[in-house]
Homo-oligomer: A and B are copies of this chain.
Amino acid sequence: MPKQVDHRERREAIARALWRVVDLRGVQHLSLREIAREAGISHGQLQHYFASRQALLTFAMDFAAEQTTQRISRSLEQLGDPPHPRDVLRLTLTEMLPLHADARATSRMNAAYVLEALHDEEVLARTRDAMAKGRAQMEGLIRRAIADGHIDSTRDPATETDLLLALTGFATLIELRVIDPQDVLKAVDQHLDRLFDQ
């Protein structure tokens, strides 16, 4: 064989190319040939690393989620120890919104994947599980904040979690430039202000 190649690294590079295509050209133009062109490799080579289109999509999605988690984790380390739950929630929420290039690409990937999930049972199960897990974590965080007296004990943890997750609806509004980023942050902060006893 030619010089051994780091498979994982190569697959990640291809996934990044996929993100760029989604980001720059749109999901509707997401084809293997277009991705290969963007990655600077041949169509055949791409197929060597991914057996099927679906395999590539799944990998790119998992990789995106992984990267987002890492981004959040890194930012969390810069917070106090232990970090204030309000800051954790704010960070998590803002990292899920398309407020900077990386987040925008993964946000768009996500939207595309959700549309795919609506008519593919397997993709649906995967996405659903991932989201449910994220939701459970957030609810746990809120329950702890209540126990620690950061949040009024009359609040219902489940409902508060749902309301926070619903704020990801800002993504569409930002993308369409209906609301600009600073107003979004203002609204998010407002919501968090009311959640935590000021």
Contacts and interface: CB of A to CB of B under 8 A. Distances in A.
A96 B166 CA distance: 13
A186 interface: yes
A158, A172, A183, A187: residue with the most chain B Cβ atoms closer than 10 Å: A172
A165 B168 CA distance: 11
A191 B169 contact: no
- State the oligomeric state as a number of copies: 2
A187 B169 CA distance: 14
A55 interface: no
A115 B27 contact: yes
Interface string A168-198: 1111110111110001101100110010000
A116 B176 contact: no
Interface in A97-122: 108, 111-112, 114-119
A103 to B, nearest CB: 15
Interface of A: 25-29, 108, 111-112, 114-119, 124, 127-128, 131-132, 135, 156, 158-159, 162-163, 165-173, 175-179, 183-184, 186-187, 190-191, 194
18 contacts: A26-B116, A26-B119, A28-B119, A108-B115, A108-B118, A111-B115, A115-B115, A117-B176, A124-B176, A128-B177, A132-B178, A135-B178, A135-B179, A162-B179, A162-B183, A163-B187, A168-B169, A168-B172
